[in-house]
Amino acid sequence: MVNLKALEVWFVTGSQSLYGEETLRQVAEHSKTIAGSLNDATQIPVKVIYKPTVKSTEEIYSICMEANTSKNCIGIIAWMHTFSPAKMWISGLKILQKPLCHLHTQFNRDIPWNDIDMDFMNLNQSAHGDREFGFMVSRMRMNRKVVVGHWQDPEVLVELNTWTRAAAGWNDWQGAKFVRFGDNMRFVAVTDGDKVEAEYKFGYAVNTHGIGDLVEVIDQTSDAAIDLLISEYEEQYTLVPSLKKGGAQYSSLRDAAKIEIGMRAFLEEGDYKGFTDTFEDLHGMTQLPGIASQRLMASGYGFAGEGDWKTAALVRAMKVMGSGLEGGNSFMEDYTYHFDPSNPMVLGSHMLEICPSIAVGKPSCQIHPLGIGGKADPVRLVFNAAAGPAINASLIDMGNRFRLLVNEVEAVAPMHDLPKLPVARVLWKPYPDMKTGCAAWILAGGAHHTGYSQNLTAENMQDFAEMANIEFALIGKNTNLYQFKNELRWNEVYYQINK
Ligand code: MN
């Protein structure tokens, strides 16, 4: 996966020359201490780099310019220890292309009741210095995250963690390439969309390869490479007897391994961060990639079925955001409902392709017929997913804008074995409740395909949407349908005006 520690956020403190050398020396010292402490905090997954205090229009412009062109800088944390007249920030903020977090903090946590004097007041002005800065960012209608509290406060560290992870996901999209093997599933609406607008808005490119290009690479796979991968399957999964060496369907397992090796080679060769395929376009392939897509997702590739490039890209970003955290992220689909009024829930799954990063226990490697696609039986990993809080996220193209929709859910342990269900599965309860959650999702036009996450929160996704400057809609514990419908209507007007 992605090593987040290779990425940097820059800690930039604003001030002005007016205060004189001694005060500015202390400002710099305090800033170094805070940046160092954030850098060392285990809660923050990226490096936090101290930058010299900026005191003029020119210095601010330069640091923003530098941040834009720095490959490793994924965002700026700004703090005004003293007063930093905000007209000085206009030209810099105007060109800033990296995400911005405004840390509204103060060097000392408490007021030193007995010692406080005008020198202290002169130095510790963030309570009003940060307001001047905040005004300018609002005046310029810029999205940013505002984090309030003492820099050692664990809650502040959690919020900074959330934002830096979103910034890492956003950074990963810039210049990213996604490949589609075949086009969209025919006639399907929600998985389609404007790829030109997506590249302009999100920074990633989506291009298609005919399935023949992939088949050519798959066919170059050596028997030795297949043997090696099969021994990995044997080690990591419980193989059903028919897939074991000498079993009736062992050759299907070899076909599946061959597909995985070929796809991996194709993705590496093209420097792709994710892919889609579709069961309607498998010309020259023996089976729909099942275990291949599952394992490629587990390696960090974004994936979605049926040509759904928006969800594939979203799954990739979510994997980057969740990098290093317990739990996983997967492509998901709301499949079937349990409408028992005393215990309603959703069964999430797909034809085959759920990522084993969300599995509880050792997945079982199985083979079953697939009713659609007209190909040989595909090999897949079957497992249950862990219980606990999770989210479903869907990125949809509303025609005049993209909307990121998130539903907070609670995954529950399966009450039954589901012995005849030949796919990986998750059971969850949507918040605020089944009826409201599902109605709100449908009213918002949310897709049946989602990115499902065990380790990200709605706040990660909101920060991410703000970096992308797109609409964000949340269905969570406090959602009420009346309010939610109004929010969607009001957003409609907002996005017509704010183009
Ligand atoms: Mn699907």
Beta-strand pair 359-367/379-385:
antiparallel
Distance CA 28, CA 367 (A): 63
Q: CA 322 to CA 48: how far, in whole Å? A: 18
Say how many Å lie between the CA of residue 358 and the centre of ligand 1: 18
423 Cα–ligand 1 center, Å: 13
C-alpha of residue 72 to centroid of ligand 1, in Å: 35
Between the CA of 51 and the centroid of ligand 1 the distance, in Å, is 47
Q: How far is the CA of 129 from the centre of ligand 1 (A)?
A: 51
Using the mean position of ligand 1's atoms as its centre, give its distance from the Cα of residue 306 in Å. 6
Measure 311 CA to ligand 1 centroid, in angstroms.
10
pLDDT of residue 388: 98
How many angstroms does the Cα of residue 197 sit away from the middle of ligand 1? 23
For residue 57, how far is its CA from the centre of ligand 1 (angstroms)?
Answer: 52
Distance 440 CA to ligand 1 centre (A): 20
Q: How far is the CA of 449 from the centre of ligand 1 (A)?
A: 6
**279 alpha carbon – ligand 1 mean position (Å):** 10
Residues surrounding ion ligand 1 at CB below 5 Å: 305-306, 333
Q: Ligand 1: distance of its center to the CA of 333 in Å?
A: 6
Task: Output the six-digit token pair for 113.
Answer: 């009741």
Q: Cα of 14 to ligand 1 centre, how many Å?
A: 49
Strands 205-209, 177-181: pairing is: parallel
Tell me what pLDDT residue 396 has.
98
267 Cβ neighbours under 8 A, 6+ residues apart: 179, 275, 296, 301
Report the separation in Å between the CA atom of 367 and the middle of ligand 1, taken as the mean of its atom positions: 19
Interval between CA 450 and ligand 1 midpoint (Å) = 9
Report how far ligand 1's centroid is from the alpha carbon of 463 (Å). Answer: 27
Distance 246 CA to ligand 1 centre (A): 34
C-alpha 347 – ligand 1 centre gap (Å): 14
Query: How far, in Å, is the centroid of ligand 1 from the Cα of 307?
Result: 9
Query: Strands of 145-148's sheet, edge to edge?
Result: 47-54, 8-14, 73-80, 100-104, 145-148
Q: Going residue by residue through the chain (499 aa), what tens digit of pLDDT does each one get?
A: 789 999 999 999 999 999 899 999 999 999 999 999 999 999 999 999 999 999 999 999 999 999 999 999 999 999 999 999 999 999 999 999 999 999 999 999 999 999 999 999 999 999 999 999 999 999 999 999 999 999 999 999 999 999 999 999 999 999 999 999 999 999 999 999 999 999 999 999 999 999 999 999 999 999 999 999 999 999 999 999 999 999 999 999 999 999 999 999 999 999 999 999 999 999 999 999 999 999 999 999 999 999 999 999 999 999 999 999 999 999 999 999 999 999 999 999 999 999 999 999 999 999 999 988 889 999 999 999 999 999 999 999 999 999 999 999 999 998 898 999 999 999 999 999 999 999 999 999 999 999 999 999 999 999 999 999 999 999 999 999 999 999 999 999 999 998 7
Q: Residue 352 C-alpha to ligand 1 middle, in angstroms?
A: 10
Cα–ligand 1 centroid distance for 420 (angstroms) = 20
Report pLDDT for 498: 83
Q: What is the pLDDT of residue 454?
A: 98
**What pLDDT sits at residue 378?**
96
Q: How far is the CA of 166 from the centre of ligand 1 (A)?
A: 26
Ligand 1 mean position to 350 CA, how many Å? 6
CA of 174 relative to ligand 1 center, distance in Å: 26
